[in-house]
Structure 1
Amino acid sequence: MHSTAKLFAALLLLAGSRLALAVNPSADIDALVHSAAAEVMQQHQIPGLAIAITAQGQQRFYNYGVASRQTGQPISSDTLFEIGSISKTFTATLATYAQAKGQLSLDDKVGKYLPELQGSPFAEVTLINLATHTAGGFPLQVPDAVHNTAQLMDYLKAWQPQYPAGSQRTYANPSIGMLGVIVARSLHVPYAHALEQQLFPALAMPNSYLQVPANKQALYAQGYSKDDAPVRLNPGVLAAEAYGVKTSARDLLHFVEAQLGQAELEPALKQALSATRTGYFTLGAMTQDLIWEQYNYPIALDALLQGNSSQMAYQSHAVSALQPPLPAQDAVWVNKTGSTNGFGAYVAFVPAKQIGIVLLANRNYPNEDRVRLAYRILSALE
């Protein structure tokens, strides 16, 4: 009987250890992240990669390689990366924040806020169209001939839509950039002030900037082009509003956790974050929110790859309007890619599972491989 009791106790201990491993598989997740990161870094010759994960309120940070090949400074969770078009999610958040405080309405037309454009087709576009890439067919970038605000307004006065507003999704910087201009006007402050002095502090993101200050330059990673040349962002007109943010894995993960409802926020900001995940249009498996793109969860990897493909970024696609718009959902995969010439970023989260991931690299590598990396890791976290 004594031996039997010992055996029974040993079996209980073994079962308990297996249960603990199943509940908190830290070693398995660490090994998976290390392996997956090594593969993508080797494949694309990425100098430095920061990965940040949140799972049921627990944070994990993984840092690989160097912020600069010249200095050999290692990547950290506070290294600053250019996040490209993920910046657009902050422009959308500023817009919904202003709306929550009664300072604008996304249902309004552009002409209400930019009276100098009254009489032009652009004046008839709604702010929702600006934030969903459905304004009518802007080019991806502001034209090279536009160097200042006066030239930008002349360009917008002359702009002629290719499609009726709300009928086609054409991914573009000018439209979301102009939403940022309108938000700043409605708040009566410059856009940089609204972002750096109002939104980032409210989101508890102290290490996020449009212009990296002198005392933070040491944290600013060196980007590397496809030709492996050192490069950093050379901002043009509407860069701040469309692709100009520099931030860290730690700060960006906190933004993800705020989206997951894990942060203490004032009611207006909490409402604003939820509003950015309102669905307005559908395109295949993807629902277009305010900049964010979402997919019903669970979602197949192939659908995510299609939704984040170059074809989606560079071509126009017919969309179907959701009437009424779809309120923020929990059982969805929400994501956004971002790139500059020397950096590649990706953010994804699943509210229903309370999981999310941030990928920041100081090299621009294909969106599809960012999605594969995130999908592999988040699938394991389930």
Structure 2
Amino acid sequence: MSHKKEENTTKLNYYHWQNRLNELRENCQIPGASLAVLTDGKIHELASGVLHRGTGVDVTTDSLFQVGSITKVYTATLVMQLVDSGELDLDTPLKKIFPEFTVPEADAITIRQLLSHTSGLTSDFTFDTGRGDDCLEHYIEAAKELKLDSKPGTIVSYSSVGYNVLGRIIEVLIGQTWDDALRDRLITPLGLTSTVTLPEEVLRFRAAMGHLGPDPVPFWNLLPRSAGPSGGALCATAADLIRFAKVYLDDGEAPDNTRILTNETVTAMLHLEAKTPDKWTSGNEGWGLGWMLYDWDDVKVFGHDGATIGQNGYLRVVPETGTAIALLTNGGASDLLHSVLFRELFEELAGVRMPDKAFGPSSQPPMVDIAPFIGTYERKGVVITITEHNGILHLVYEINDGRKDPSPSLEIKLIPVSETVFAGAAGQDWIPVVFHKLMDGSIFCYIGMRAAPKIS
């Protein structure tokens, strides 16, 4: 099925949107932002603010930002190229590629499940294996000590671990590092001249520094090279994100008509593989193969979000109108900027309304049986303890990753939104906390699209 649509003839009012970007960025206390918009078949670029509050260097449209987990779609695209070539099958068991991968029940994990976040592999496992070209090989060795959070194929749970595993699969089958494969098979053919993965490459460009509050973070990037395939390394301009996404509007073809993916593969990647119980954290309905999938009042949309320390990225594509928007920021209330700016742009340029996913309890919360949810939930590096006080659930979220100076725990009370969805009061914001019960009686607690199984 073709995803090419008739070009939108609405022109971008550059002066208006530049002023609007400046205004919203300042209101959201964001140091700097880069915006790219695909409409009427053209990419329009805007920039606002500074890359670093300490140096005052301006953001320009050719400035690089860390795109975080948007990288996962690039990794998924490389995997699907191997499917197109017949070197890999979506239902190939992981164990067939990595016989030495001794995680219990890992022999049941398939490539399809890794791509759609249904593998059961835990969400986050960051392990520094150095800067060498063998970093992913050693990451796989370290990951053998992990245990599954759920049986493969039973639940959806966002897994960066799964995408680092996919990165190593790419290396094994192609015979190149993930970085080199990405450059040779995607970056160069697509003409992404402002997309790189290694810090020494970033030095050729103006680059954003993340900010936490008013201050720049102490280090440009804290993630090891082994986190590259899941989102620890890729840096790009907003326009290059659009150029990459445009492949999926152009039936898998690059601008020079070379084929990146088959049309059938593009369709498969944008097909709903798994619905997510947590539809509020990123507003998506579920997962395709790599892509987050959205339903905006019966208008199909795909995209992905990304975050590193103090930097955020947002990408949304509406195939029906041939419209796409990418936003990169380096601090502040980036989610608010994204939601307001994207809603206004898509409505004016594409006549498509992005739903307002405002989340929180009603003035009269429903009566809910909270007893089944009381207990302890645990996944790698995280312990969630839920207790009851005067008929109200209280949640304590603790990072338990072995650091000498652990992060402070988060303590919130939970207000029912429905029988299984609760709003966690965190300052002026509400955090979605979702419980999901399987037929066998096991219960999972979702926070930030990541599921932790109940252990007691």
Assess same fold via TM > 0.5.
Answer: yes
Aligned counterpart, 2:125: 142
Other-structure match for 1:336: 304
Higher strand share: 2
Label 1:347 to 1:119 Cα distance change in 2 as closer, same or farther (>3 A). closer
Match of 1:103 among 48, 67, 87: 87
**In 2, Cα distance between equivalents of 1:351 and 1:343:** 27
Tell me how far 1:252 sits from its aligned partner.
Answer: 1.2
Corresponding residue to 2:26 among 42, 47, 51: 42
Q: Which amino acid aligns with 1:276?
A: M
Structure 1 residues 289 and 150, CA gap change in structure 2 (3 angstroms): closer
1:19 corresponding residue in structure 2: none
Following superposition, the deviation at residue 168 of structure 1 comes to 1.2
**1:235 aligned partner, one-letter code:** L
Counterpart of 1:278, as a letter, is H
Partner of 1:198: 185
Aligned to 1:311: none
- Residue 280, structure 1, aligned to residue 273, structure 2: yes
**2:261 alignment partner in structure 1:** 269
Distance in 1 (alpha carbons) for counterparts of 2:344 and 2:91: 38
Partner AA of 2:22 in structure 1: A
Picking from 101, 108, 122, the partner of 1:124 is: 108
Amino acid at match of 2:314: Y
| Gap change, CA 1:364 and 1:277, over 3 Å in 2 | farther
| 3-state secondary structure, aligned to 1:185 | helix
Note if contact 1:212-1:246 (Cα within 8 Å) is conserved in structure 2: no
Does the 8 Å contact 1:122/1:157 carry over to 2?
no
Residue 186 of structure 2 contacts residue 260 of structure 2 at CA under 8 Å; is this kept in 1? no
Which residue number corresponds to residue 449 of structure 2?
A: none
2:171 is the counterpart of 1:184:
yes
Give the AA of the match of 1:181: R
Q: Cα offset for 1:189? A: 1.0
What corresponds to 1:12 in structure 2?
A: none
Unaligned runs of 5+ in 1: 1-21, 300-330
Q: Is 1:245 the equivalent of 2:234?
A: yes
Higher share in helix: 1
SS of alignment partner, residue 197 of structure 2: coil
Root mean square deviation, CA, Å:
2.7
Residue type of the partner of 1:68?
H
Q: Secondary structure at the match of 1:117?
A: coil
Query: CA distance change for structure 1 residues 355 and 282 in 2, over 3 Å: closer, same or farther?
Result: same
Q: CA deviation at 1:278?
A: 2.9
- Aligned pair 1:259/2:248, yes or no? yes
1:133 aligns with 2:98: no
Structure 1, 208-217 or 240-249: larger mean CA deviation: 208-217
**Distance change in 2, residues 1:121/1:357 (3 Å):** same
1:57-68 to structure 2, matched below 5 A, reads: 57-68=41-52
What stretches of structure 2 of length at least 5 have no aligned partner? 1-7, 351-456
TM-score calculated relative to the size of structure 1:
0.77
Separation in 2 of the partners of 1:61 and 1:145?
A: 36
3-state DSSP of counterpart to 2:144: helix
CA shift, 1:62, in A, is 1.2
Deviation per residue, 1:76-112 (Å, 9 max, x gap) = 2211110000011100000001111122112111111
2:28/2:336 contact within 8 Å kept = no
Residue 220 of structure 2 corresponds to residue 232 of structure 1 = yes
Give the C-alpha shift of residue 165 in structure 1.
1.4
Aligned to 1:16: none
The answer to which structure, 1 or 2, has the higher relative contact order (CA under 8 A, 6+ apart) is 1
Conserved 8 A contact 1:41-1:47: yes
CA-CA distance at 1:69 after TM superposition: 2.9
Asked if the contact 1:91/1:176 (under 8 Å) is kept, the reply is yes
**Is 1:73 the equivalent of 2:57?**
yes
Contact 1:178/1:238 (<8 A) preserved: no
C-alpha change, 1:143 and 1:255, in structure 2 (3 Å) is: closer
CA distance in 1, matches of 2:92, 2:59: 44
For 2:175, the aligned partner's letter is: H
- Checking the alignment, whether the CA contact within 8 Å between 2:84 and 2:262 is kept in structure 1 is no
- The alignment partner of 1:166 has SS state of coil
Deviations 1:201-251 (A, max 9, x none): 122212111114458434222222235223421222631111120011221
Q: Deviations over 1:243-263 (max 9, x none)?
A: 120011221121122221184
CA separation of 1:174/1:288 partners in 2, compared to 1, >3 Å: closer, same or farther? Answer: same
Which residue in 1 is equivalent to 2:363? none
Instruction: Give the match for residue 296 of structure 1.
Output: 295
Q: Is contact 2:65–2:329 with CA below 8 Å preserved after alignment? A: yes
1:149 CA displacement? 5.5
How far apart, CA to CA, are the structure 2 residues paired with 1:198 and 1:239?
20
Structure 2 letter corresponding to 1:193: D
Aligned 8 A contact 2:117 2:159 in 1 = yes
1:346 maps to what in 2?
314
Identity among equivalent positions (%) equals 22
Q: How does 1:163-174 map to 2 (within 5 A)?
A: 163-174=150-161
The residue type equivalent to 2:272 in the other structure is G
Is contact 1:340–1:364 with CA below 8 Å preserved after alignment? no
Q: CA deviation at 1:146?
A: 7.4
Compute the displacement of 1:143 (Å): 4.8
- Helix, strand or coil at the partner of 1:205: coil
Matched letter for residue 104 of structure 1:
L
Distance 1:372 1:186 in 2: 43
Tell me how far apart the structure 1 counterparts of residues 332 and 106 of structure 2 sit (CA, whole Å).
33
- Is the 1:103–1:187 Cα contact (8 Å) retained in structure 2? no
Change (3 A) 1:100 1:144: closer
